Structure 1
Amino acid sequence: MTTAAQLPDQPVRNAADLLKAYLGLTKPRVIELLLVTTIPAMLLAVRGIPSPFLVLATLVGGTMAAGSANALNCVVDADIDQVMKRTRARPLVRRTVSNRHALIFGTALGAGSFLVLWAATNLLAGVLAVATILFYVFVYTMVLKRRTAQNIVWGGAAGCMPVVIGWAGVTGRVDWPALVMFGVVFFWTPPHTWSLAMKYKADYERAGVPMLPVVARPTAVSRQVVLFTWLMVLWTLLLAPATGWLYVAVAAIAGAWFLVLAHRLHTATKRGEPTKPMRLFHLSNTYLMIVFVALAVDSALSLPVLGWPW
């Protein structure tokens, strides 16, 4: 059986290969999901359509910040990525990019994100972006990830920050709806990540990463998935005073859909039946997109508000 250590180095043949390798360091699929939450936060902040330039600048700065955090994460986690099947094709494992160059690249992206956000939006957005990068790299990646089964619960806070940065980018402050959106993503992260970890439990175990499915019984994991799903769904409804009927209706229906599958996973786990955690993982991406797209449409249309004094 081929292991990660036996994979041959992948030489860079041309500029396109090199560009692809550096792009891979930023984990584009992760960034896509973060951008899905940023735009709706900006629309809700103004209850309409903000300046296109402001939106573009915030997205560019936010993308650079996320890419910086992900690239630096790849540097710190290179040893883990080498022994996990899911990550063994990453650029640092295949040596298409050196650790030193990845470190420079990640640092430059982080500095660039601060400058873009500061110049095009405001200082608060730039500071929040830098704080997010530092938290993700030094708190989550270097401390929590390898030491506690609650790593993704608290470390996932970094992935919640795009909504706060987006809100700050158009208002210059952080109001309570931004914190509620932060909470939605915060409670969404454990079911999303633990369902993936249930599938790749052997990978995390081999790498010595104490993800919850590695250190806890399957029923304990599925019970936690249900608990955080309930918290997430209920938390989405806290935005009702700041939104209209469209968002509330979509959030309730999508939440009920998510809850049904989370409970099905838990029931199958308790019975010792075969489970499909990846179904919940993929659903979680769809769910987050649906909820935040509904938020964006609701905000853009400025539908009747239930109570927030805009």
Structure 2
Amino acid sequence: MRCWQDIEQYGLRIWFTDPDTGSILHLSRSWQRSEQENSPAATRRLFSFQAGALAGGQIVSQAAKRSADGELLLATRNRLSSVVPLSPDAWQMLSAPLRQPGIVALREYLRQRPPACIRPLNQVDNLFILPVAECISLGWDSSRQTLDAQVISGEGEDNVLTLSLPASACSPFAVERMAALLQQTDDPVSLVSGFVSFVEGQLTLEPRVMMTKTRAWALDAETAPVAPLPSASVLPVPPTAHQLLMRCQALLIQLLHNGWRYQEQSAIGEAELLANDLTAVGFYRLAHVLGQFRNTESEARVEAMNNGVLLCEQLFPMLQQQG
């Protein structure tokens, strides 16, 4: 579940998956902002069910329908639909690509899947479920207003997953619940679902629901204070050269993923500014690649972007050896 708000309205969206088909559906609602103080989104009712219960539950229905855009429609008459708490084993019924065995497998899946411009239209193709074996660091970054954690997820050498949850005015206690869950030892977190993205070149998951050995916790459904947040920041501050490489890699991945349509001028401008910064630290070849975007055609741009990605992959190990 994710809560949101703007100047005029507030609302929520809850995602569900059908274990038989693997399709992902959603429930979405919005209300006038003037009602928010007395009726927070997590306490509102959808199809006679409280939103918080829906977010952490399983729907059993004899009369469920879906709209063309994937919205779930429930019948509430004659007890045709009911909600039961999500069992700890429920997610084990799900398969790839939604549920991945670990961060290493997820990276490989994302690397091999086609670009967004040629994939089937899917509103939630960055939603995944990953295992959590152990939380190795946890901290609140006050400058970013974000709770960060690093957890072990799956097998492999590079199996550390970064979780980052920004504070939100419409779900103010979500970060407290996340921190409390990752610190408890009597009922530890075993699985997490959320949306993955590349933040400065690093694969990061924004958690939505955390599963322990006994129950599911929808973070945005928390309506009361839980516990103080840990103060220390856990993510290292990268040196300038490394940070520029991460920015460059993130830009190239974004362009290869989404294409140039609707963002050509802004992307070219960003690439040229980044090229100046790369030149200042000595990455002349990579800066030249970014500087080619304005005066090249689409096929040549794709080749230049692929060359840029390869250059980044070559430069990262060199920086690590030096530092």
User: What TM-score, normalized by structure 2, do the two folds share?
Assistant: 0.24
Bigger fraction of residues in strand: 2
Bigger fraction of residues in helix: 1
User: What TM-score, normalized by structure 1, do the two folds share?
Assistant: 0.25
Structure of greater relative contact order (alpha carbons < 8 Å, 6+ residues apart): 1
